Chain A
Amino acid sequence: MLKPKIKREDKTLREIHVDQIIEAVTQMVQEANYNIGKDVEDAFKQALATEESPTGKDVLQQLLENVEIARTEQVPICQDTGFAVFIIELGQDVHIVGGSLTEAINEGVRRGYLAGYLRKSIVAHPLERKNTGDNTPAIIHLELVAGEKIKIHMAAKGGGSENMSFVKMLKPSDGVEGVKDFVIECVKTAGPNPCPPIVVGVGIGGTFEKAAYLAKKSLFRDLGRRSELADIAELEEELLEKVNKLGIGPQGLGGRTTALDVHVEIYPAHIASLPVAVNINCHAGRHKEVIL
């Protein structure tokens, strides 16, 4: 049944059909897993130039060869093709037609993971643990924004690095030093497990779950890009330096490159709270963005 376009004042909602979304997601989940971003490849090359450990250099060399093979042969960079995590910026003047947005995203993941020979890594029930067989459902974070576009940003988030993530409710009196100490402790505890050199995502402020979301969102940023807030950019630089003094190195075998970058996102907090979340990503920051 055709519904008339809804008019708000002099504005017409822009229709986007779910088929466009399914198509975009089908493609991007494959591309994210085959073609590493230039920012990551550049980060590997830079690390190779500055790393002092011979084993560390050897590992970085293998990682560079690996992304080349993956791109050339169109095979996954890593066997953990991840939970498909989406941050969708949905313009509030968009009207999605033809079906449900959530189902469209999941259908795109289903088709992409099948067609792309990607691994099906999701279990339907966290305790019973039966594989869903098609890497759905995806994780979908929806942000309603101004405008009439949909920005779909997808990351393939591996389980190993995700397991090395932490949230702590600090006291306001712990201050920035408390935050730094916590971040360093997390990276130390994680050690070799999340496939260093890692990317460290940090969320500060908000509530318990908001801090965790901020940490995850910070990982969607390209490597080498600092926060737009001057004091936070400084914090990112300082944390990166401190992390790289830990000596964990590529694959945790010892070296100067423990992290390729640290990203921090912040949000206002409660007068009684200083929540901090650390979401760790492996070296292969695999994410793609499409704007409809």
Chain B
Amino acid sequence: MATIHLTTPISADEAAKLKVGDQVFITGVIYTARDAAHKRLVELVEAGKELPFAIKDQLIYFVGPTPAKPGKAIGSAGPTTSYRMDKYSPILLDLGLRGMIGKGSRSQEVKSSMVKNKAVYLAAVGGAAALIAKTIKKAEIIAYEDLGPEAIRRLEVEDFPAIVVNDVEGSDLYELGIQKYRIEN
């Protein structure tokens, strides 16, 4: 289990080097989107229209932050639960999305899509929202301002901490963790 410093955008080769359990620190640009934005993005894809940002080799962070206090880049910004985006993720992965940051397990369909598309799923610590916010240096809404906390934001992050939960080989840290620590009666 290595410690890896990643800079976005991330190529398929770089993603393939990440292994389940690796601790990563991300620097660069990441994009935010959750339930409502994903619905709109997929509607655009299905209509053959362009997305609000170039998605290839990028990371999407599933988050709806609190409003920023004056002088701060962003409010508290921990991950939301990823399974709610499971319906939409494979469509974005097929377009070249390189990784997703969230929390909680993904469906088999999403995991298979990650293996096929050489993408990864990273978990940030749910509830460490004030701590994570400190790694976000800049935040701007680039689409769907009407969605408020659910708008698509472009974030500039420095050493944003996450752990590799699903790698390109199909391993799952949630499964491995429980296997190690479960005591059956």
A interface residues (Cβ-Cβ under 8 A, vs B): 52-53, 55, 59, 62-63, 65-66, 69-70, 73, 75-81, 117-121, 129, 131, 133, 160, 163, 191-195, 242, 245-249, 251-256, 282-284
| Bound CA–CA A78/B184 (angstroms) | 33
Check A79–B83 contact: CB distance below 8 A. Answer: no
Q: Which residues of A contact B148 (CB under 8 A)?
A: 120, 131, 133
Q: Which residues of A contact B66 (CB under 8 A)?
A: 75-76, 79, 81, 117-119
Asked if B12 is at the interface of the complex by the 8 Å CB criterion, the answer is: no
- Residue among B148, B173, B181 with max Cβ neighbours from chain A (10 Å): B181
| Bound CA–CA A105/B105 (angstroms) | 37
A63: contacting residue among B75, B125, B174, B181, CB under 8 A: B125
Contact-residue bracket for chain B = 35 or more
Asked if B157 is at the interface of the complex by the 8 Å CB criterion, the answer is: no
Interface of A is mostly: loop
Write 24 A-B pairs (CB below 8 A) sorted by A numbering: A62-B128, A63-B128, A69-B130, A75-B76, A79-B65, A120-B149, A131-B147, A131-B148, A133-B148, A160-B104, A191-B105, A192-B174, A193-B103, A195-B103, A195-B127, A246-B178, A246-B182, A247-B178, A249-B181, A253-B173, A254-B173, A254-B178, A254-B180, A256-B181
B163: contacting residue among A55, A77, A118, CB under 8 A: A55
B149: contacting residue among A63, A121, A163, CB under 8 A: A121
Q: How far is the CB of A196 from chain B (nearest CB, A)?
A: 9
Check A119–B176 contact: CB distance below 8 A. Answer: no
Asked if B108 is at the interface of the complex by the 8 Å CB criterion, the answer is: no
Q: Which residues of B contact A117 (CB under 8 A)?
A: 66-69, 75
Asked if B101 is at the interface of the complex by the 8 Å CB criterion, the answer is: no
Check B65–A119 contact: CB distance below 8 A. Answer: yes
- A-facing residues in B112-142 (Cβ within 8 Å): 123, 125-131, 133-134
* Residue ID in chain A nearest B75 by CB atoms: A117
Q: Which residues of B contact A79 (CB under 8 A)?
A: 63-66, 75-78, 80, 129, 149
Q: Given A117-B75, A254-B176, check contact A192 B104 (CB 8 Å).
A: yes
Check B127–A77 contact: CB distance below 8 A. Answer: yes
| Bound CA–CA A68/B133 (angstroms) | 14
Convert B156-185 into 0s and 1s, putting 1 for each residue whose CB lies closer than 8 angstroms to a CB of A. Answer: 000000010000000001101111111111
Q: Which residues of B contact A118 (CB under 8 A)?
A: 66-67
Asked if B36 is at the interface of the complex by the 8 Å CB criterion, the answer is: yes
Check A247–B127 contact: CB distance below 8 A. Answer: no
Q: Which residues of A contact B125 (CB under 8 A)?
A: 59, 62-63, 251
Asked if B81 is at the interface of the complex by the 8 Å CB criterion, the answer is: yes
Q: Which residues of A contact B177 (CB under 8 A)?
A: 53, 55, 247-249, 252-255
* Residue ID in chain B nearest A54 by CB atoms: B1
Check B133–A75 contact: CB distance below 8 A. Answer: yes
Q: How far is the CB of B101 from chain A (nearest CB, A)?
A: 13
Q: Given A69-B134, A247-B181, A256-B181, check contact A78 B83 (CB 8 Å).
A: no
Q: Which residues of B contact A160 (CB under 8 A)?
A: 80-81, 104, 126
